[in-house]
Amino acid sequence: MKRGRPSADDVSGQVARPEGERCTPGEAAERGLREERQQLLEQARREAESRERYIERLSTLFRVTMAVLKEATVEGLLRAVAEAARQVTGARVAIAGHGFISGRFRVGAASHAPDAFACPPGQEFRVERGGLYLDLVRERESIRLTDEEMRRHPHWWGLPPGHGELRGLVGARMVGHGGEANGVIMATDKHEGDFTAEDEALLRQLAAIASLGLQHVEARDESERRAAELDAIIASIPDGILIYDREGDIVRANPGAARLLHYTPEIMARPLAERITLLRVETAERRSVRFEQLPNVRALRGEVVEGEVFVVTVPDGATIWVSASAAPMRSAEGEIFGAVLALRDITPLHEAQEEREDLLRAVSHDLRNPLSAVLGQAQLLERRLEKAGLEAERRSTQSIVAAAERMNTMIQDLVDAARAEAGQIRLECRPVDLRASALALKERLAPGLETGRIDIEIPEDLPQVWADPGRLDRIFGNLWSNALKYSAAGTRVTVSARVEDGWVVTSVTDRGPGISPEELPRLFERYFRGAAGRERGEGVGLGLYITRRLVEAHGGRIWVESQVGVGSTFSFSLPVASA
């Protein structure tokens, strides 16, 4: 038998039946199953095709994502985002914008098909209450509107005059580091039909990727901006600024540092151990500084150096005096990753101080020598006149002696004030018995001061103080002299002391006229004289200023309490000597 092409019933396994003959119930059930199977197969085919399309669109999303993330500027990234939005949604027009102006949204980049309307960058949309842009920015991650929905709500569009008509719309927002909305992506005029939920989902994913890209670009731009600001600030500082990494290599140096240290770019590129051999670093006392004692090396170990003075001989042989400060740079976890060193050229200041020292030595020597001769001869003449019984002439000679002593005191005050201003008060401290020191000084000053009016009420068991004995005598002498000078004859001056939190507080109390409240804040200023001092016309207003500087040089402080008509109490603190 010749075989022909099988019929549809043969293919399905069913025998051809004469026309009009009914199927049995079993046959009808079998046919229903076949139809249901065919429907399921068709549905599976459509789902497979849909998955293939979605995978293809995901592939497109991945491809455009790589293009987006390659962009290095906000403008370039927005252009890539707008183009990507068209590709993943099938739209003919797409825009992307970054940042918001009050009440408006500005287009940052746009992409459109050749025959579609253009939406050029710079155009602005109104962001009105109820408008779709405001809705997207404030409340939702994405929006999707059909063409019919857009037509029913034209007030949502917020379009500028002359803008092309929107045909449906899908949009998603971009967010910044804090999660706040800082941009949108919009697409309209789909090639076929309305935008789908799949289009909206893909656009949301694109927006999330674009947000990361924008955050990265913004963070990099902000970092570069801050680095540029830092460079400008460092370059404008006249002092030398050097920044080191953890190995001590120079990563940044301003022109002031190169000028100060006579460093060339080639020298700066050398390792720390090599660079330092080009410099000779000494202390202010001209003692050599070891490598580990250098301020930048100490800062890399975690130390903070403030205003230490060094003498530096630079590569060309010049010698400079510098004030150096250094500090470590730490990460958020506290790990040291570098150090910063600031160098100030104080060579002119050092030279001026040297000149002032020369002047002070000349003043001290050239004025005191003839003054000493005058004083010595006057004292000799006073003793001879006393023996001769010439009382009137002796009193005249006493005036010469007193004037010479005042002049000697004024010269010493001027010298001490100048040294105090230059920070050149040198102390030779040791443990001192305050009571014994005060009693001995009272006896020594008896010939020139009414020390009989001074009552020393210092406890015998008072701890010793850490002080320079000579400077302590000067402090007592100035305070006692003022107390005796400005209190009535016959009144007592009391010297007392007590211990307070590791300090010995000494007070000198008089029963004088007191000091007005207006004068108290200025009492320890240089050249200040109160009303009582101006009336007496004595001194130049340096005694209390020098006293303050001497106390502060010991690490203590000085203050005064006074009541007009009752008297004054001058107090100062000195550290207790360690056991």
Q: What is the pLDDT of residues 193-231, one digit of tens each?
A: 899 998 999 899 899 888 888 888 888 888 888 888 888
Q: What is the pLDDT of residues 135-184, one digit of tens each?
A: 666 778 888 888 888 777 665 556 666 666 778 889 898 888 777 778 88
Over residues 408-433, the mean pLDDT reads 78
The three-point CA angle 354-296-326 to 5° equals 70
Res. 488: pLDDT tops 90: no
The tokens for 494 are 């009391």
- DSSP secondary structure letter of residue 512: S
Res. 9: pLDDT tops 60: no
**Which amino acid would we find at residue 184?**
V
Q: Length of the chain in residues, anyone?
A: 579
Q: What is the pLDDT of residue 491?
A: 93
Beta strand 493-500 with 454-457 is: parallel
Q: What is the pLDDT of residue 134?
A: 63
Out of 318-322, 354-358, 385-389, 466-470, least confident range: 354-358
Over residues 430-437, the mean pLDDT reads 95
Cα separation, 323 vs 173, whole angstroms: 55
Q: What is the pLDDT of residue 435?
A: 95
- Name the residue with higher pLDDT: 421 or 369: 369
**Which amino acid would we find at residue 395?**
R
The tokens for 9 are 């019933």
Res. 1: pLDDT tops 50: no
The tokens for 438 are 């005060």
CB atoms within 10 A of CB 220: 12
- Name the residue with higher pLDDT: 2 or 83: 83
Q: What is the pLDDT of residue 439?
A: 94
**Which amino acid would we find at residue 554?**
H
- DSSP secondary structure letter of residue 577: P
Res. 356: pLDDT tops 90: no
- Name the residue with higher pLDDT: 518 or 356: 518
- DSSP secondary structure letter of residue 73: S
Core vs surface per residue 41-53: b (16+ CB within 10 A) or e: eeeeeeeeeeeee
Runs of H (alpha helix) within 389-506: 391-421, 434-444, 469-485
Cα separation, 27 vs 35, whole angstroms: 12
The three-point CA angle 532-534-538 to 5° equals 100
Res. 97: pLDDT tops 60: yes
Report whether 117 contacts 164 (CB < 8 A). yes
Q: Which percentage of the chain shows pLDDT scores above 90?
A: 32
Cα separation, 505 vs 437, whole angstroms: 15
Res. 125: pLDDT tops 90: no
Report whether 254 contacts 342 (CB < 8 A). no
Q: What is the pLDDT of residue 411?
A: 76
Q: Under DSSP, is residue 539 helix (H, G, I), strand (E, B) or coil?
A: coil
Q: What is the pLDDT of residue 576?
A: 95
Q: What is the pLDDT of residue 369?
A: 77
Report whether 468 contacts 500 (CB < 8 A). no
Q: What is the pLDDT of residue 8?
A: 42
The tokens for 189 are 């005029």
Of 190, 164, 199, 172, nearest to 91 (Cα)? 190
Of 172, 163, 182, 244, nearest to 208 (Cα)? 172
Q: What is the pLDDT of residue 129?
A: 47
Confidence band for 378, pLDDT divided at 50, 70 and 90? confident
Res. 101: pLDDT tops 70: no
Q: What is the pLDDT of residue 151?
A: 75
Report whether 97 contacts 78 (CB < 8 A). yes
Q: What is the pLDDT of residues 528-539, one digit of tens each?
A: 877 665 555 555
Over residues 47-75, the mean pLDDT reads 74
Cα separation, 495 vs 506, whole angstroms: 7
Over residues 124-128, the mean pLDDT reads 62
Over residues 50-63, the mean pLDDT reads 71
Averaged pLDDT of the chain: 83
**Which amino acid would we find at residue 5?**
R
Q: Which of 125-134, 444-453, 474-483 has the highest mean pLDDT?
A: 474-483
Q: What share of the chain is helix, strand, coil (3-state, %, to 5)?
A: 45, 20, 30
Res. 5: pLDDT tops 70: no
Of 328, 329, 330, 282, nearest to 308 (Cα)? 282
Cα separation, 169 vs 189, whole angstroms: 7
Q: What is the pLDDT of residues 291-342, one digit of tens each?
A: 999 999 999 999 999 999 999 998 888 899 999 999 999 998 999 999 999 9
Q: What is the pLDDT of residue 2?
A: 43
Q: Under DSSP, is residue 373 helix (H, G, I), strand (E, B) or coil?
A: helix
Cα separation, 510 vs 566, whole angstroms: 9
CA atoms within 13 A on the CB side of 394: 10
Q: Which of 96-100, 295-299, 404-408 has the highest mean pLDDT?
A: 295-299
Of 471, 463, 455, nearest to 433 (Cα)? 463
The tokens for 498 are 């007590």
Q: Which percentage of the chain shows pLDDT scores above 70?
A: 85
Over residues 388-412, the mean pLDDT reads 80
- DSSP secondary structure letter of residue 141: S
The tokens for 66 are 């790589």
Over residues 437-441, the mean pLDDT reads 93
Whether the CA torsion 119, 124, 128, 132 is positive or negative: it is positive
Q: What is the pLDDT of residue 461?
A: 92
Helices (H) and strands (E) in the chain, counts: 16, 20
Cα separation, 76 vs 108, whole angstroms: 10
- Name the residue with higher pLDDT: 550 or 353: 550
Residue 515: partners with Cβ closer than 8 Å, 6 or more residues away: 523, 530, 560, 562, 564, 568
Q: What is the pLDDT of residue 403?
A: 77
